[in-house]
Chain A
Amino acid sequence: MIQTLAGSKGTVEGPLYFGPAAARLFGIHDAPQTDEGREGSVVLCYPHGRDYVSAFRAYRTLALRLARAGFHVLRFDYRGTGDSAGDIGDASRQQWIEDIVAAVDEVRGAVGHSSVSLVGLRLGATLAAMAASACRDVDRLVLWEPVVKGDEYVATLRARHREWFQAVARRLARMRPLATEDELLGYRFSETLRNDLQRVDLSSLAVRPARHVLIIGQHDDAEHARLAQRLEGLGASVGVRRVAGPQIWSTIPGMDQGLVPNRVLQAIVDWLGSPGRA
């Protein structure tokens, strides 16, 4: 039997599987920890690959803080990642967007709230924006260091992979030749996914993803300003903030420190809990 967020005795808290039988998704639901719910739900969209590992603790911390602030929170693994069904070699951008849409539907169906917000870091932010455009009824969207240009993102990961390989190959005897076409920092990187991600250009989004959008950068990034302009042009109320804190993405293997950028997380909780403004 598939366990879903909507259990027979109310909503299921904690770990659960949801989604179609052919592509079951693993998620964790944190229920509001206050008597007065904000009548809102938040779906957290993980980044991919090393970023997923590095951000895992921060995401759990963010989920617990949002639950304490009165939100239902669902964080989940895309197909082919984490505990969800499938293999990363078969994954595609479109599948992952569909997974986010399924998570939004799951939360909405179980909790009954019309107000659903999305939060994502790096590629998770990008996918969240695309999924929100598909849903067309997402209230708020937090884009934390979003990947705006997919080709630059892939190029950066390839460079990281090469750095790692060169650092490790010096120590190890028979490391097989580098193959960044097929794998990146510990994960298969299929031609489909490679093409999918390289074609990403968030600044050409055609449909307003949410009524309110917050872009959080931890570094100066001209792409964020361009993205904000685009989203405003689509009719969204957009805020751009720079919040200092430890970088928890694109670390090389073996450098996973489980850091939690508290100020960034607090900025997200505050913004989602604030009255309707960007």
Chain B
Amino acid sequence: MPEHAVTLPAPASLVGVFTEAEEGERSGPAVIFLNAGLLHRVGPNRVYVRMARELARRGVSSLRFDLSGVGDSPPRTDGLPLRAAALRDVSDAMAFLEATRAVSSFILIGICSGADLAFRVALADERVVGVGLIDGFVYRTARSYLYDSASRVSRVIFPGWWRELVGSDGRLRRGLPFLSGKAAGTATGGGGRDIPSRDEADAGLRELARRGVNLLIVHSEGRGYSYPQQFADVFPFVPTDRVELDYLQGADHSFTLVANQDRLVRAAVDWTARLR
């Protein structure tokens, strides 16, 4: 599929690659991939490239680019502070696609800090109709603590069998409903990320729900997200027909094993294709 090297106009001068849909330009939203931390625009283990090419085969165009000061993009010259600069970068990228590709709506997909940014951009810009948050903000529940504790103990004492009893799909929880009680969780993650507070996330998700923005929530294992429905337990008001949850048990945060990259690419591509 055609891929085009692009440089956004100054002052951003951001470097990226536009992947054109194989079936030609369509009127639907284009996807924008956001940097995962300091990794450049190809994403961890090149998953953004794979997603972009698979989406192109399914008629979706996309842009992967480096935020200012990341990868191949120089720092901005307008002196904006960090968060404002990142928001402006994405806004500039959307304006660029509007001007050059006649795209008027967007789906943002971000991993880690890219998910945090995608969430903030979606709140600030009504052109965003979908956000894919991969290893984005996590808030704990009582059940997630229980899972993690049980997991640690079981790996020492009963390797293997306990999960068949408890089940990642919540078999035990359904039998013991009190275990689903929610804790006033704190966000997990960190490492210099701009993670929204629980209140910010709550208010923001209500606003996105009001606007009908579609959500994809994907989490790897081991960072405070411990079972598939954890997001729904924390934010029960998010309409179920607007959110898709995917818990990639056994995947690490970098999606190092190829099998887990395959799962991640499939989750993101299938969700995006269903939105169109």
Tell me which of A57, A83, A164, A186 has the highest count of chain B C-beta atoms within 10 A of its own C-beta.
A83
Binding-face segment, A14-22, A121-129, A215-223, A266-274 = A14-22
* Residues of chain B with a CB closer than 8 A to A170's CB: 155
* Residues of chain B with a CB closer than 8 A to A168's CB: 252, 256
Known contacts being A17-B5, A24-B3, A253-B254, is A173 close to B15, with CB within 8 Å?
no
A158 in contact (CB, < 8 A): no
Map CB proximity to B onto A23-35 as digits: 1 under 8 Å, 0 otherwise.
0101010000000
Q: Are A183 and B17 in touch, CB under 8 angstroms?
A: no
A60 in contact (CB, < 8 A): yes
Q: Which of A82, A174, A188, A253 contacts B249 (CB 8 A)?
A: A174
* Residues of chain B with a CB closer than 8 A to A88's CB: 46
Known contacts being A15-B72, A24-B3, is A173 close to B250, with CB within 8 Å?
yes
Q: Which of A83, A164, A173, A182 contacts B17 (CB 8 A)?
A: A83
Interface size class of B (residues with CB under 8 A): 35 or more
Map CB proximity to A onto B1-37 as digits: 1 under 8 Å, 0 otherwise.
0011111000000011100000000000000000000
**8 A Cβ contacts from A75-89 to B:** 81-83, 85, 88
Interface size class of A (residues with CB under 8 A): 35 or more
A185 in contact (CB, < 8 A): yes
Known contacts being A53-B39, A256-B39, is A3 close to B5, with CB within 8 Å?
yes
Known contacts being A53-B39, A81-B46, A82-B46, is A186 close to B15, with CB within 8 Å?
no
Give Cα distance in the complex from A172 to B40, angstroms.
26
Q: Which of B3, B44, B163, B255 contacts A17 (CB 8 A)?
A: B3
Give Cα distance in the complex from A85 to B52, angstroms.
12
* Residues of chain A with a CB closer than 8 A to B249's CB: 172-174
A258 in contact (CB, < 8 A): yes
* Residues of chain A with a CB closer than 8 A to B256's CB: 164, 168, 185-186, 253
Q: Which of A14, A81, A185, A254 contacts B7 (CB 8 A)?
A: A14
Q: Are B42 and A82 in touch, CB under 8 angstroms?
A: yes
B186 in contact (CB, < 8 A): no
B146 in contact (CB, < 8 A): no
28 A–B pairs (Cβ distance < 8 Å), ordered by A:
A3-B4, A3-B5, A14-B15, A15-B15, A15-B72, A17-B3, A17-B4, A24-B3, A26-B17, A60-B71, A81-B46, A82-B49, A83-B17, A83-B41, A85-B3, A171-B222, A172-B251, A173-B250, A176-B259, A186-B254, A186-B261, A188-B258, A253-B252, A253-B254, A254-B252, A254-B253, A254-B254, A258-B38
B binding-site residues for A, Cβ under 8 Å: 3-7, 15-17, 38-42, 44-46, 49, 71-72, 151, 155, 163, 168, 221-222, 249-259, 261
